[in-house]
Chains A and B, each alone.
Chain A
């Protein structure tokens, strides 16, 4: 279960966070560190790529809730992309899609950031 990885790369002004494996109470601090690092670097436009994430627990969900406010206050956001069906269902059940933007593809999310007029 401890098998978890966070990758980070840039796509212009947008930072892509790539998740891999299981995101739960034990691995959540790793993701928190990444978000803290991005905030220190004043990078608030974030797309999280869930392509390789197999499982997310409530503690994992909590990480996004804890950071999204900071990003939005700084003209940024956390957008979700490439979710597997089972992971999306968890978000969906909780009503996340009403509060966050979900995209089938990472590029869509990046584009959304780059659209003029929008944040």
Chain B
């Protein structure tokens, strides 16, 4: 076992060790009540030392725990010091010099003196460990070497007393004693923790420390005279007596040093208090910035801190927006008064913080005499002002103005953050709504298509990033007819999605009652008049397939041409017709043309939105009609999903480096007799 393990072991079992050793000591003293023999005396000294050591080990963690409250540590040590004083004084007057105790070997006497010594040992250990805790308080560097050296000399002094039985060796004891006192004096200078006390605490400490210094001095003096307590200590162990005296000296010196240090610290105490309050409130503010994102709450906290730190009576925050200035938060002042002050004291030309003191009443509605203003700047842009005001005519000093500006800087960042977060939450909300719109759009488009032996259907919809207004649908009509629609609402976003949803209603109901594609588009145009914006329009192709008779009737309103593949030949069908919503007069009706085609077996119609021909590549070129038609003509005989896949594949290849700007809708119909 090495030394560290021993220390660890004795620390972890300090109470048991202390108990065992003290019982051993008691028994030993019963056997040898008088230590005349050097060997007997040495064993006794070792036992006493171990008792002190273990009790000290047991107590020191407790004083360590209270290192954040040095004043209470000082007070506790003081109370113990006072206790020692009273015990000594009381015993002195009650028992006298107590010479008889020394030679009394009776068991009762031994028990009494030993137990009393235990109390002294506990007091000794507690006071010493208090000094140790205070010594290490607020130390920036590792100073344990100095303290441990002192500790070593304490131990040496303890044992040198034993060597004292021969008076020729006196100098050893004296040397150790003096060196220990010198080390005590040096170590007593480590009192930097005093600086961190508030002014009130310092005043308190000043008072206690002088009392305690004197008290410990008295204790030392009393112990030096021949009296009963000295006898009792002496009887058990000479070393204990010496170390006890040393601790009393330590107390006297240490509290004396504390007294003078505190005294010298007093004049700067107020400034120190203010600085530390500034720092702690800046820290609170920093915490607020990272935790509170509510603008109002932040603004309130900022002005509360401002009043506290600038020693002012009121504070308020003014923000600048497009609508002019606005009082956002107030503390100890009304909104009306704050606004008035903002109008009275704001100077456009001043960039930094400034203050204004007025002897006379400027306005009867304004109660304050001194005002300080700091601008709030975000990214070199003025976003508002932080005001603070005093009722008195005492101007704000330089420090206070600097603090105000620091606060204003923090405030502007915090407020900007709060604003940005609010914005991003709003943006997220809008994006969620767009998601909903996209979802709705998907649900409006049909999933299950009508099925018949006479036709095949295929439809495909690829949405762009934004919600668009593409719409397609199939309607099973009476008399073996199939209605189909492909439409595209101009523009993007929610408004287009709304119109698209409306189209579904319009076409679904009209398809059932109107038998001609042109007539249907005319009716749809009339209905859309009420819901379409002036700048919005809808392009559409509506067709009716009479699949028993093999007749296709088709009309177009401003939509992209229908691609028609018949007997291996490709053609573009472009029946005349202007877009829905472009005109609501007879011009619309007159413009519409209806194509009627007698179908051949295997005829294919491809209807689509302009997302296909206008798909762009990285060179910003259009996919165009020629490419499109080539794909259709070479895949005309394939099944419809095969054709659709081929088209999508080609478009994807073509525009691989380009984001898709527009929805892509593709509807393919093939008739077979």
Measuring CB to CB, which residues of chain A are less than 8 angstroms from any residue of chain B? 25, 58-59, 61-63, 65-66, 69, 86, 93-96, 98-99
The residues of A that contact B140 with a CB separation of less than 8 Å are none
Report if B126 contacts A (CB, 8 A): no
The 6 closest A-B pairs by CB, nearest first: A95-B578, A62-B535, A58-B490, A94-B558, A66-B535, A66-B534
The residues of A that contact B537 with a CB separation of less than 8 Å are 58, 61-62, 65, 94
Task: Please determine whether A99 and B583 come into contact, CB atoms closer than 8 angstroms.
Answer: yes
Task: Please determine whether A95 and B591 come into contact, CB atoms closer than 8 angstroms.
Answer: yes
Task: Please determine whether B558 and A95 come into contact, CB atoms closer than 8 angstroms.
Answer: yes
Report if B67 contacts A (CB, 8 A): no
Q: How far is the CB of B458 from chain A (nearest CB, A)?
A: 24
The residues of A that contact B491 with a CB separation of less than 8 Å are 25, 58-59, 62
The residues of A that contact B576 with a CB separation of less than 8 Å are 95
Report if B577 contacts A (CB, 8 A): yes
Least CB separation from A70: chain B residue: B534
Which of A58, A63, A65 has most B Cβ within 10 Å?
Answer: A58
C-alpha gap A97/B402 in the complex (Å): 70
C-alpha gap A63/B537 in the complex (Å): 11
| 13 examples of A-B residue contacts, CB within 8 angstroms | A58-B490, A59-B491, A62-B536, A65-B534, A65-B535, A65-B582, A69-B534, A94-B558, A94-B579, A94-B582, A95-B577, A99-B582, A99-B587
Q: How far is the CB of A62 from chain B (nearest CB, A)?
A: 3
In the complex with contacts A59-B490, A66-B534, A93-B587 CB distance below 8 A: no
Q: How far is the CB of A40 from chain B (nearest CB, A)?
A: 19
Total A-B pairs, Cβ < 8 A: 56
Report if B560 contacts A (CB, 8 A): yes
Least CB separation from B493: chain A residue: A25
The residues of B that contact A99 with a CB separation of less than 8 Å are 578, 582-583, 587
Q: How far is the CB of A23 from chain B (nearest CB, A)?
A: 13
* Binary contact track B554-578/A, C-beta < 8 Å → 1, others 0: 0001111100000000000000111
Least CB separation from A58: chain B residue: B490
The residues of A that contact B558 with a CB separation of less than 8 Å are 93-95
Least CB separation from A64: chain B residue: B535
The residues of B that contact A98 with a CB separation of less than 8 Å are 578, 583, 587, 591
Which of B491, B535, B536 has most A Cβ within 10 Å?
Answer: B535
The residues of A that contact B492 with a CB separation of less than 8 Å are 25
The residues of B that contact A86 with a CB separation of less than 8 Å are 622
In the complex with contacts A25-B492, A99-B583, A94-B578 CB distance below 8 A: yes
C-alpha gap A98/B557 in the complex (Å): 13
C-alpha gap A59/B469 in the complex (Å): 13
Could you say which interface size class chain B belongs to?
A: 20 to 34
Tell me the chain B residues, 486-517 only, with Cβ under 8 Å from chain A: 490-492
Tell me the chain B residues, 528-554 only, with Cβ under 8 Å from chain A: 533-537, 539
In the complex with contacts A58-B490, A58-B491, A61-B490, A96-B582 CB distance below 8 A: yes
Q: How far is the CB of A100 from chain B (nearest CB, A)?
A: 10
Q: How far is the CB of A91 from chain B (nearest CB, A)?
A: 10
Measuring CB to CB, which residues of chain B are less than 8 angstroms from any residue of chain A? 490-492, 533-537, 539, 557-561, 576-579, 582-583, 587, 591, 622
Q: How far is the CB of B611 from chain A (nearest CB, A)?
A: 11
The residues of B that contact A94 with a CB separation of less than 8 Å are 537, 539, 558, 578-579, 582
Least CB separation from A65: chain B residue: B535
C-alpha gap A98/B585 in the complex (Å): 12
The residues of A that contact B583 with a CB separation of less than 8 Å are 98-99
C-alpha gap A22/B578 in the complex (Å): 23
The residues of A that contact B577 with a CB separation of less than 8 Å are 95
C-alpha gap A86/B616 in the complex (Å): 14
C-alpha gap A59/B537 in the complex (Å): 10
Least CB separation from A63: chain B residue: B535
Least CB separation from A1: chain B residue: B620
Which of A59, A63, A65, A86 has most B Cβ within 10 Å?
Answer: A65
Least CB separation from A95: chain B residue: B578
C-alpha gap A98/B534 in the complex (Å): 17
Least CB separation from B538: chain A residue: A58
C-alpha gap A59/B578 in the complex (Å): 17
C-alpha gap A94/B591 in the complex (Å): 11
The residues of B that contact A69 with a CB separation of less than 8 Å are 534
C-alpha gap A82/B558 in the complex (Å): 22
Least CB separation from B535: chain A residue: A62
Task: Please determine whether A95 and B579 come into contact, CB atoms closer than 8 angstroms.
Answer: yes
Q: How far is the CB of B642 from chain A (nearest CB, A)?
A: 28
Least CB separation from B496: chain A residue: A58
C-alpha gap A36/B579 in the complex (Å): 25
Q: How far is the CB of A35 from chain B (nearest CB, A)?
A: 11
The residues of A that contact B622 with a CB separation of less than 8 Å are 86
The residues of B that contact A96 with a CB separation of less than 8 Å are 578, 582
The residues of A that contact B490 with a CB separation of less than 8 Å are 58-59, 61-62
In the complex with contacts A25-B492, A62-B491, A95-B582 CB distance below 8 A: yes
Which of B491, B492, B576, B622 has most A Cβ within 10 Å?
Answer: B491
C-alpha gap A63/B491 in the complex (Å): 12
C-alpha gap A62/B583 in the complex (Å): 12
The residues of A that contact B587 with a CB separation of less than 8 Å are 98-99
The residues of B that contact A62 with a CB separation of less than 8 Å are 490-491, 533-537
C-alpha gap A59/B533 in the complex (Å): 12
* Beyond A59-B490, A98-B583, 19 additional pairs, beta carbon < 8 A: A58-B491, A62-B537, A65-B534, A66-B533, A66-B534, A86-B622, A93-B539, A93-B559, A93-B561, A94-B558, A94-B579, A94-B582, A95-B557, A95-B558, A95-B578, A96-B578, A98-B578, A98-B587, A99-B583
C-alpha gap A110/B614 in the complex (Å): 32
Q: How far is the CB of A36 from chain B (nearest CB, A)?
A: 13
The residues of A that contact B535 with a CB separation of less than 8 Å are 59, 62-63, 65-66
Least CB separation from A32: chain B residue: B535
Q: How far is the CB of A106 from chain B (nearest CB, A)?
A: 24
The residues of B that contact A65 with a CB separation of less than 8 Å are 534-535, 537, 582
Least CB separation from B490: chain A residue: A58
C-alpha gap A119/B468 in the complex (Å): 39
C-alpha gap A95/B583 in the complex (Å): 10
The residues of A that contact B536 with a CB separation of less than 8 Å are 62
C-alpha gap A69/B578 in the complex (Å): 17
C-alpha gap A61/B610 in the complex (Å): 14
Q: How far is the CB of B612 from chain A (nearest CB, A)?
A: 14
Q: How far is the CB of A29 from chain B (nearest CB, A)?
A: 12
Q: How far is the CB of B108 from chain A (nearest CB, A)?
A: 105
The residues of A that contact B578 with a CB separation of less than 8 Å are 94-96, 98-99
Q: How far is the CB of B407 from chain A (nearest CB, A)?
A: 41
C-alpha gap A87/B423 in the complex (Å): 39
C-alpha gap A93/B583 in the complex (Å): 15
C-alpha gap A96/B312 in the complex (Å): 71
Least CB separation from B579: chain A residue: A94
C-alpha gap A25/B536 in the complex (Å): 12
Q: How far is the CB of B488 from chain A (nearest CB, A)?
A: 8
C-alpha gap A98/B590 in the complex (Å): 10
C-alpha gap A111/B561 in the complex (Å): 34
C-alpha gap A86/B625 in the complex (Å): 12
C-alpha gap A62/B578 in the complex (Å): 14
